[in-house]
Amino acid sequence: FFWLAEIISKNPERARRMKPREVVRTLKESVFFELDLRFEAAAATELADNIKTHDTGLRVPTVDWNLTSRRVLTMDWVDGISLSDVEAIRNSGHDINLILAKAATSLFLQIFKDGFFHADPHPGNLFLDKNGDLVLVDFGIMGRLDMESRIYIAEIMRGFLNEDYRHVADVHFRAGYVPAGKSVEAFTQACMAVAKPITGKPLYQISVANLLGQMFKIAAEFEMETQPQLLLMQKTLMVTEGVGRILNPKLNMWELSRPIIERWATEQFGAAGKLKEAVREGKDILTKFPHMLHAIEHAVNNLGSRDGIKLHPVSIAELNEPRRQHQRQWLLLAWTSLGVISMLW
């Protein structure tokens, strides 16, 4: 893949927009974590701790760390029906729409609330237990999103769900996903063209492949650059949509996610969210302040040391020029004063 990335990079325009090296590097990191089962055990434990606060009917098997190593992962036994067994799921007597609602709710809480999510939720990794709860397995591929990316994505999705395409376009420009020189109005129109097939329609009427094709076309026309940090999230949303299509082809998972996205977005962008943001920024400044003071002290100390800051002779001459001018002015004043005194004498 790196070899292919180098070939693509020979086209400077495509390489700048597609970022092939960064994309492959993201995949490489994912494979690295997947091949060491200690990392997988740590991911399962972290996810289990996070979803305790979700209350969505999703659980993670407990890891037995005493029996876990780089090549061996030991977890609780999962007794349930794999979501790949569609017939058994339908004959289980459980409400399929409720199952999908749990899956969608949990996924979006993982992405937006925690910024840490299961990035491979295909049917073989999801089980339905006798209580109607979902159980996740296989934590080799996990995704992370920083708070800034989560806020941008939540705003974009909320804009799409509310059919506020101008807001969607504005967020793309604010996030830097679209170059500043492009037309906001034209991009707003493009967003509407992509979103209209989704809004208010059941999932079975949506061609995900066609939708992605339109998005890639828009990305090329507006010179949008690939965002490697969003790749796993995009893939996860696609896979989850596919699970929904298998279990109930007439259910729109975008609509299932609407209350979660809107609630989280309200918490982040409302008065309480602004206060939390101010507190976060304040903590960040307080954390960095001692390091800033140390850096300033180090720089000042270097000024007086023998091996301190090196300046070019021209720079030194320019720094000394105001002082020399000041000295010449005082010298001229002194000679003039002496001349006047001599004449008066």
DSSP 57: S
Q: Which residue has the tokens 């720089």?
A: 299
Q: Show the tokens assigned to 126.
A: 């999801």
Catalytic entry in 49, 85, 120, 170 = 120
Instruction: Count other Cβ atoms within 10 Å, centred on residue 3.
Output: 7
Instruction: Count other Cβ atoms within 10 Å, centred on residue 8.
Output: 15
Q: Show the tokens assigned to 216.
A: 């890639």
Q: Show the tokens assigned to 69.
A: 């190593």
- Cα–Cα distance for residue pair 250/203, rounded to 1 Å: 6
Whether 120 is catalytic: yes
- Cα–Cα distance for residue pair 193/190, rounded to 1 Å: 5
Q: Show the tokens assigned to 152.
A: 């941008």
Please list the residues that pair with 58 across neighbouring strands.
134
Kindly give, in sequence order, each residue whose CB lies less than 8 Å from that of residue 60, ignoring residues fewer than 6 positions away: 44, 47, 48, 51, 135, 136, 139
Q: Which residue has the tokens 């339905």?
A: 128
Q: Is 253 exposed, middle or buried (0-12, 13-18, 19+ CB in 10 A)?
A: buried
Kindly give, in sequence order, each residue whose CB lies less than 8 Å from that of residue 307, ignoring residues fewer than 6 positions away: none
Q: Show the tokens assigned to 335.
A: 């000679």
With contact defined as beta carbons under 8 Å apart, do 276 and 266 qualify?
A: no
- Catalytic positions, please? 120
